[in-house]
Homo-oligomer: A and B are copies of this chain.
Amino acid sequence: MLFKLLDLAGTFAFAISGAVAARQKKLDLFGIITIAYMVACGGGIMRDLCIGAIPPAGLVDWRYLALSLVASMLAIAVYPVLQRLDHPVQMFDALGLGFFAVFGAHKALAYGHNVQVAIVLGVVSAVGGGAMRDVLLNRTPLILRKEIYASAALLAATLQVSGEQLELPADWLPWFGIVLCFGLRYLAMRYHWNLPRFPRGNG
Contacts and interface: CB of A to CB of B under 8 A. Distances in A.
Nearest to A114: B60
Assembly of this chain: how many copies? 3
A137 B144 CA distance: 9
A140 B137 contact: yes
A15 to B, nearest CB: 15
B143 A31 contact: yes
Contacts of A136: 131, 135, 140-141, 144
A117 to B, nearest CB: 5
Interface stretch (A5-13, A166-174, A178-186, A192-200): A192-200
Majority SS at the chain A contact face: helix
B145 A55 contact: no
A191 interface: no
B79 A202 contact: yes
Contact of A198 (B76, B80, B137, B151): B76
Contacts of A80: 202-203
B27 A145 contact: yes
13 contacts: A26-B198, A28-B146, A30-B143, A30-B151, A52-B55, A65-B116, A65-B120, A76-B198, A78-B203, A79-B202, A135-B136, A136-B140, A137-B140
B117 A60 contact: yes
A22 B114 CA distance: 28
Given A144-B35, A200-B26, A55 B59 contact: no
Contacts of A28: 144-146, 194-197
Contacts of A81: 203
Interface string A28-70: 1111101100000000010001111011100110100100000
